Each structure stands twice: as C-alpha cells, then as structure tokens.
Structure 1
Amino acid sequence: MIEKKEGQQMEERILRIITLGIISWTTAFHLFRKFLPKRSFEFCNRLVSTVHATVAFTLASLSVEDWTCPVCPLASRPSHSQMQTLAVSLSYLIYDLICCQFDKRVTIDNTIHHLVSIVGIGAGLAYGKISFAVVFSFARMVFGPYLTWVTLTADNPLVIKAMAVGLQLVSAYWFFKIARMMNYKLTKRTASKNLVYTEKL
C-alpha cells in the first residue's frame, strides 16, 4: 500500500515536472525573441537548446550514484533523480517538437527524431528500463544512422555534420552499454530458471 502511494506521488511529480518544463522552455523562447529581436527564430530556439543541454548535463551528472561505474548496478530501476532528469528532457523534446512546426523549414526527419525520442523517454518513465532500452536501441541504431547520413549529405555547416557524427557515436556507445545490461539480465533470468528446474528434479 505504501509502495503504491509512493508510486502515485512520483507519477504526479513527474507530470508536474513535464508540465512546468514545457511552460518554462516556451517562456524562455519568447524571452529570447523579445530581447533579441534581430535574431532569427532558429537562433532563439538554439539558445533554448543550449540551455536544455546545460541543464540536462548537470542533472544527469548529479543523478550518477557511483562515478567509478556510472551504469551500475546493471538492470536496476532508475532512481528518482534519474527519472526527474528524464522528465526535464521529455518536457524539452515536447516543446521543441511543437516549436519546430512553426519554423520556416519543417523537416520530416527532425519530426521523426522528436517523436521517437519522446516515445522512448516516455516508455522509460512509464515502464522502466527494459522497454526504454528496446525503444532507445531501435530509435538510435535504426533511425539514427539514417538521420546522420541525411545530415552529412545535406548542405549543412561543418560543425552540424560533426555534431551529427558525434551524437551517433555516443548513441553507439550507449547501445553497447544497454546491450551488455540486457545480456546480463537475460543471462541472470535464464540461470535462475535453470536453478529452479534443477531443484524440482
């Protein structure tokens, strides 16, 4: 009963963070537009992106429980601080998806990127690490290389192309970490079933 109540409180807290986050990112964008009237829509949105990247990096760093092994313990559920960090990023992605629809250039690959990321983080918050791992892996290792290729072959500045490659490399690194975690969990589950079966015999 206590665990159920704590779970409901956490869900309400996450929803508040997401709602407040969307309002905050939108407000920040409008403030940038107001105080930087000569700057473009895209420039102001990139400023919001920079703020989000700084906040997300800080929160993610603070949520690491053991820096000697940041992904330990393997196959564990996310902590409250980690879930709150995901909620902040989810609120930003929802804001950015909506904001990008009002830009002069609306691209289908950018929209897909946002939708997949939103579904992935949402699944991570709702169902825990396993579903998040599956959605993340599919999104980053199937859609990711395609989006990277589109970015590299398009007429983009060198820094944008470098960032696309860098993000894909980071995705590949985390895919390796997730694959290792999944292998550990499945191996542990199989070993547990075999032990139970042996004891019955």
Structure 2
Amino acid sequence: MDDYNIKLVGLGVVLWATVFLLIRNILPKRSFEFCNRLVSTIHATLAVTLALLSVEDWRCPVCPLASKSSPRQMQTLAITVAYMIYDLVCCLFDKKDNLDNMVHHLVSIVGLGAGLAYEKCGSELVAAIWITEISSPFLHLRELLKELGYRDTGLNFIADLLFAAIFSLARMGCGPYLTFVTVSANNPVVIKAMAVGLQLVSTFWFYKIARMVRYKLAKWTSKKVV
C-alpha cells in the first residue's frame, strides 16, 4: 500500500470519528448506539454510491476480474476500510455488540486492506462493498425507529421486512456468485479467503434474520387477530 492510500485511510478514520462526535454534540440526548448508527447509515449510502460509480463495465459489473484497480475503486476501498476501523473501535465501546459482527469487521478490514496493498481486484471488492452495504440503511433504520419510540409499530414492521428482503437478495442471491468468481479468478489467497469468510458470515446472519422474520410475522399476525 503506497503512502497516499495509507494517509487516505488514516484521514478517513479521523473524519468518521469527527462525524460521530458532531452527531453526538447535535443529539446529546440520544444514545451512543443511535449516533453510531447514523454514521453507519451515512457510510452505507456513500459506499453504495461510490461502488456504483466505480463500475467499469455495466455489461459485467464485476469485470475485469483480478485486474488492476482504478483510482476510483481504490478511493472507495480506502473510505470503507477507514469506516470499518472506526466502527471496530466503536464495537469495543458498545457492550451490545457481538462476536459475529466483530469477525465481519476484521475480515472486511483484512480483505479490503489487501486489495489496497495489492492494488488489484478492485471490481470484485467494490462489488462486495455494494452487496454488503445495500441493506445496511434498512438495518439501522429499524433500530433507530425503536429508540424514537416506534417499536412494534407498522412502520418498524415494514422496516424489518425491507431489511430482510434486501439482505436476502443481495447476500444470498448475488453473494454466492461473487464469491465463486472471486475464488475462481487469479486473486491473492487473502482476498479469496475474505470472499469465503464474508459469505459464511452472511449465511449465518441470513439464518438469524429468517428466524427474526418468522417471529415478527407470527407476532404481527397475532396482534391483528386480537
């Protein structure tokens, strides 16, 4: 990784932390988790947008495979690596966070960091960012609504269903294909391992989300009956 990308990642960590502190100052009555989720939503929206803008060939969004990353792809990777480092630090302060989320962060940092270091696999890695972040705004929305007093409401139920649907389509629809092409191409071993690791974590989360949806549907149906 050259000095420019190292500086960009370092600057990004500082900027994400600054955004968090600004939100905490603007919303002093909101919880640590609430403010961090707002930062995460900003990142997810930015990351998805940058990932789309960095696609080189819309006839094959993950092409060219195992190729040198474009400057825009490198910037997208650096911004997301910086966010992941910032958010991993936040995980250490948030007692509610769990092991699988921390594993997800570590795998992402190592894999995307390897992409920055090798300066290749940009197409595959920005596609991975798109797949993993497209459902994040809805994940955070459902939790933000709870703190705003909309727990167990129709709005929160819709947010749950939207998150589950988008997550399932992205992670279990597009995810396995991206994992296959990444592992099949002439990519560094660490990036292949990242692809497999992220898919395994996504599969575990899919199982948990399916159980959540089943519970929410049963609960919502019983409320309607009553």
- Which TM class, normalised by the smaller chain length? 0.5 to 0.7
Q: Tell me the TM-score normalized by structure 1.
A: 0.66
**SS of match in other structure, 1:14:** helix
Matching residue of 1:83: 74
Show CA shifts across 1:53-81 (max 9, x none). 12112211221122232222233222121
**Superposition map of 1:147-162 within 5 A:** 159=159
Show CA shifts across 1:152-192 (max 9, x none). xxxxx764586366435423414313423554659xxxxxx
Is the Cα contact below 8 Å between 1:77 and 1:129 reproduced in 2? yes
Q: Tell me the TM-score normalized by structure 2.
A: 0.59
Matching residue of 2:16: 25
Separation in 1 of the partners of 2:2 and 2:161?
A: 38
Aligned-residue Cα RMSD (Å) equals: 3.0
Structure 1 gaps of 5+ residues are 1-9, 141-156, 187-201
Instruction: Please say which structure displays the higher CA radius of gyration.
Output: 1
| 2:57 maps to 1:66 | yes
Percent same amino acid at aligned positions? 51
Is the Cα contact below 8 Å between 1:75 and 1:182 reproduced in 2? no
Matching residue of 1:175: 176
Separation in 2 of the partners of 1:161 and 1:109?
A: 22
| 2:6 maps to 1:15 | yes
The structure 1 segments of at least 4 consecutive aligned residues displaced by more than 4 Å after TM superposition are: 157-162
Which structure has more relative contact order (CA 8 Å, sep 6+)? It is: 2
**Superposition map of 1:29-178 within 5 A:** 29-127=20-118, 128-129=120-121, 159=159, 163=163, 166-167=166-167, 169-172=169-172, 173-178=174-179
Number of aligned positions between the proteins: 156
Structure 2 gaps of 5+ residues are 133-155, 188-226
